[in-house]
Amino acid sequence: MLEIEQLTASHPRGRGRVTVISNVTLRVGAGEIVGLVGESGCGKTTLARVITGLHRPDTGSVRVAGTDVHRLRGRHLRAHRRQVQMVFQDPGLSLSPRQATRQAIAEPLRIHRIGDTRSRQQRVDELLGLVGLDPDVGERRPRQLSGGQQQRVAIARALAVAPRLLVCDEPVTALDVSVQAKILNLLCDLRDKLGLACLFISHDLAVVRQLADRIVVMRDGRVVEQGPTTAVTTQPGHPYTRELLAATPTIGLGPRDVAAGRRSEIAEPHSKL
């Protein structure tokens, strides 16, 4: 679903530019969750912006479902943006304080001119159910929702236009640990139900290992290691991965346990969302 080849990207600094992503190659298959992990400033968000078409790379390519994103213009680029949706760290910032949940979820449908008013409302009902929110949440504004509920709304909004790839940039970093587990379980469910491809970006290997099928480790804009989660976390090949693991508490379950349906045991919640 996502194929990144030899990607290099930079930002302006002073009179020149500084390279923040160097020769990154990675893939995310349909129905696969790939965790991208690395410390703050290693280029994770820049990579997410390149994937969504918001930041132009210097060299290399990004293909989504076989289409080279950075060759697209105009309506083709807008259609691409439908296929790739993002979920951000702070749902409080990504949702408008003035919009009730229903309006927030329906907005992308309106912008992309999908359906009429009635079919959009039906779709909103469906999406509320899909992300585990009660119908009455539809009438509330963000400040009347918990952080976990807000992130569920942000996920429903991202799913509204039926994307093929979800890019989640630190989606649980701002949430309590008990709420984090529920959101991670939700993303696993969505992968299973919708066959969604997901690039899950985090600085936290303890979080990533709980849901990713594969892990990509980035340092200073380069991929230093990538492979199946079990291999990367039990037999890390790069000293930096070993450093990250040494700093990681052994919490939660691995992807096999998740696949075996024991999700509710992933540090599941002590508090209701």
Ligand X SMILES: Nc1ncnc2c1ncn2[C@@H]1O[C@H](COP(=O)(O)OP(=O)(O)OP(=O)(O)O)[C@@H](O)[C@H]1O
List residues near ligand X by CB under 6 A: 11-12, 20, 38, 40-46, 203
Q: Which of 155, 123, 128 is nearest to 139 (CA)?
A: 128
Q: Is the CB of 91 or the CB of 138 nearer to ligand X?
A: 91
Contact 178, 269 (CB under 8 A): yes
**What distance in Å separates the CA atoms of residue 201 and residue 167, rounded to the nearest whole number?**
8
Residue found under tokens 């290399």: 60
| Crossing angle between the packed helical segments 117-130 and 147-159, to the nearest 10 degrees | 130
Give yes or no for a contact between 143 and 104, defined as CB atoms under 8 angstroms apart.
no
Nearest of 147, 150, 158, 73 to residue 111 by alpha carbon: 158
Of the pair 11, 110, the CB lying nearest ligand X is at 11
Minimum CB separation of residue 42 from ligand X in Å reads 4
Nearer to ligand X, 43 or 138 (CB): 43
Collapse the DSSP code of 59 into the 3-class scheme (helix H, G, I; strand E, B; otherwise coil) and give the result: strand
Nearest-approach distance from CB 169 to ligand X, in angstroms: 7
Residues counted in the chain: 273
- Shortest Å distance, C-beta 237 to ligand X: 21
Q: Based on C-alpha coordinates, what's the Rg of the chain?
A: 18
Amino acid residing at 58: D
Nearer to ligand X, 46 or 94 (CB): 46
Report, in Å, the least distance between residue 57 CB and ligand X: 13
Whether the CB-CB separation of 25 and 6 falls below 8 Å is answered with yes
**Helix ranges, 98-173 (H):** 101-111, 117-130, 147-159
Between 13 and 78, whose beta carbon lies closer to ligand X?
13
Q: How far is the CB of 241 from ligand X (least distance, A)?
A: 16
Q: How far is the CB of 129 from ligand X (least distance, A)?
A: 33
Of 43 and 255, the one with the shorter C-beta distance to ligand X is: 43
Decide whether 125 or 220 has the Cβ nearer to ligand X.
220
Work out the number of other CB atoms within 10 angstroms of the CB of residue 205.
25
The least distance separating ligand X from the CB of residue 212, rounded to whole angstroms, comes to 17
